[in-house]
Chains A and B, each alone.
Chain A
Amino acid sequence: MTAAVKIDVARLDAWFGRVHAVKGVSIQVPERGVLAVIGPSGCGKSTFLRCLNRMHELVPGARAAGRVLLDGDDVYGGSVDPVLLRRRVGMVFQRPNPFPAMSIRDNVIAGLKLNGLPRDTDEVLERCLTQAALWDEVKDRLGGSPLALSGGQQQRLCIARALAVEPEVLLMDEPASALDPIATARIEELIHELKERYTIVLVTHNMQQAARTSDLTAFFYLGELVECGPTEQIFTNPKESRTEDYVTGKFG
């Protein structure tokens, strides 16, 4: 893999009050790569993800230290506006969270409208919904409520919403954990297509999902990065015995 490093995390620590949730993690993600972060619940993988677009600091009492470089710029640099950062690093959450007071169309272009970015909204709407593999299902009811959609459709709507602000990186926090198997399969297909354009960091507790979708896999345990390497190696020939125990289902 010779692609440029998109995200470079060095000795990242994160706390909630006194709880040390992420301990000295260093990881590099190449441009247009997919990093899967796996580990038992409570191992700090979601917190790690939320440090990458500075969502972590929104929780009262949360703190982070260390370095996160995006294209070589420190996202925790003193003059960085987290708001601008988040337009470059989009996020999809565990549970679909469309804005209930807005129509499907307004949900997709919400980021553009709320940020006052002038765009050809119809073009963006069709492009993002197509990229999120939702266009055909909703093109006849763009004015309808997003709450009328199924869970899987809502999640793809949230992905379209994240794509509309043209991020470079997409963070996905267990995007399929609240969905049924068929909807999950569609999200995974989507990840495959999206990695042509975006750098993706995917948190999942589903090891098959990590194996199917990612280039790199990182295994977290109790806030520490145990091992990170090419996905195939992590699942077939891990260096650490704790990784092997986890991927073979001995604990977690």
Chain B
Amino acid sequence: MSPAPLDASLGKEQAAAPSPAIRLRALNLGDRTYASALVSFGGLLLAVAGVIVVSLAHLAQPTLSATGPVHFVLGTDWNPVSGSFGALPFIYGTLVTSAVAIVLAVPVGVGLAVFLAEMSPRALRRPVSFAVETLAGIPSVVYGLWGLFVLVPILRDPVEPFLAKYLGFLPLFRGPPIGLGFLAAGVVLAIMILPTIASVSLEVLKTVPAPLKEGALALGATRWEAVRIASLPFAKAGIFGAVLLGLGRALGETMAVTMVIGNSPSIHASLFAVGYSLPSVIANEFAEATTKLHTGALAGLGLVLLGLAVALNGLARLLVGRTQRKLA
């Protein structure tokens, strides 16, 4: 068998000469084409992000320049007919409902994660994890349906009268029990963000090194004490990240909130009152928005929402990543 030379153009003298240190990266045409195709897919993803920001800003621009960004964010009047757009009631509604959701979901979600990671019998882990995954997979419009026809009547009676009777000294729990409103939206949101908080916390708690916990137990600590002095401090940043991820989801959630918050642009201290949220007003008004100013105002709300969500998610990823890197 007489093999063909690797390359015919390679002269004998050239081959005999000792090659200098070569930086070894020879790609043939196919590989070069493939590499540039892949890079362009990566670029496409960046372009998607760019398009989202630019097109929102472009749509919002007429209204933001007509209203002024400060009045747009801090104004309380929202009247598409007269062309005045102040987003504060929606921002308020979004913040209040998200706060209620966090207050309710964090103890339950973290408690569930701690129980599964540290206390429960092994046999329980899979079914509970499965249930949490199922909870995460239910479409938000179905949560809204359930909230509207199941949760709201329960809140109207007996929950809200009960709260008014015993906690009515707080301004939070005053006013007529309607059912619809901030409280209902907050509770539905709490249920919806629970899987996020629980599963991310669980992931973080799983990364706690066993020797850390065993060290505490070996000192005579009880299970709970080991959790308190070893696991939770180690996982603190990651759990906080989980909460922020949940918060990010709560801020942007549309359908379930729209269906139970009451959709009225007003600011009330009481959780029993009806309100409005950023995503809800976009959902309700966008299809019927006819003027450039109106769609621009709604796109402006989208921009506010985008800013909140991106900031929260970036921070959350950073925190979760930091806990997981502690191991390395």
* A75 in complex: contacting residue of B3, B6, B21, CB < 8 Å: B6
A80:B21 contact, CB within 8 angstroms = no
Surface stretch bound by A, among B23-31, B40-48, B70-78, B241-249? B23-31
* A79 in complex: contacting residue of B3, B9, B20, B22, CB < 8 Å: B9
Main secondary structure, interface of A, reads mixed
A80:B26 contact, CB within 8 angstroms = yes
Render B12-41 as a binary contact track against A, CB cut-off 8 A, 1 for contact: 101100111111111010000000000000
A73 in contact with B24 given A10-B18, A67-B18, A67-B19 (CB within 8 Å)? no
Q: Does B137 interact with chain A (Cβ within 8 Å)?
A: no
Q: Does B211 interact with chain A (Cβ within 8 Å)?
A: no
Which residues of the other chain, A, contact B22 by a CB distance below 8 angstroms?
A: 63-65, 76, 78
Render A14-29 as a binary contact track against B, CB cut-off 8 A, 1 for contact: 0000000000000000
Q: Does B121 interact with chain A (Cβ within 8 Å)?
A: no
Chain B min CB distance to A89 (Å)? 10
B10:A77 contact, CB within 8 angstroms = yes
Render A62-100 as a binary contact track against B, CB cut-off 8 A, 1 for contact: 111111011111111111111111001000000000000
Bound complex: CA A70 to CA B7 (Å) = 12
Cβ-closest chain B residue relative to A75: B6
Q: Does A57 interact with chain B (Cβ within 8 Å)?
A: yes
Q: Does B138 interact with chain A (Cβ within 8 Å)?
A: no
What band does the interface of chain B fall in when counting residues whose beta carbon is under 8 Å from A?
A: 20 to 34
What band does the interface of chain A fall in when counting residues whose beta carbon is under 8 Å from B?
A: 20 to 34
Which residues of the other chain, B, contact A82 by a CB distance below 8 angstroms?
A: 26
Q: Does B5 interact with chain A (Cβ within 8 Å)?
A: yes
Bound complex: CA A13 to CA B19 (Å) = 11
Q: Does A11 interact with chain B (Cβ within 8 Å)?
A: yes
Main secondary structure, interface of B, reads loop
Q: Does B123 interact with chain A (Cβ within 8 Å)?
A: no
Q: Does A168 interact with chain B (Cβ within 8 Å)?
A: yes
Bound complex: CA A57 to CA B27 (Å) = 11
Which residues of the other chain, A, contact B15 by a CB distance below 8 angstroms?
A: 69, 72-74, 77
A81:B12 contact, CB within 8 angstroms = no
Which residues of the other chain, A, contact B25 by a CB distance below 8 angstroms?
A: 57
Q: Does A54 interact with chain B (Cβ within 8 Å)?
A: yes
B24:A57 contact, CB within 8 angstroms = yes
B18:A66 contact, CB within 8 angstroms = yes
Which residues of the other chain, B, contact A67 by a CB distance below 8 angstroms?
A: 18-19
B7:A80 contact, CB within 8 angstroms = yes
* A83 in complex: contacting residue of B7, B23, B28, CB < 8 Å: B28
A interface residues, Cβ below 8 angstroms from B = 10-11, 13, 54, 56-57, 62-67, 69-85, 88, 168
**Contacts A63-B23, A71-B3 supplied; 20 other A-B pairs, CB < 8 Å:** A10-B18, A11-B18, A13-B21, A57-B25, A65-B20, A65-B21, A66-B18, A66-B19, A72-B15, A73-B5, A73-B7, A74-B10, A77-B10, A79-B9, A79-B10, A81-B6, A82-B26, A83-B28, A85-B6, A168-B3
* Top 10 closest pairs, chain A to chain B, by CB: A57-B24, A65-B21, A74-B15, A79-B7, A73-B6, A67-B18, A80-B6, A76-B19, A77-B10, A73-B5
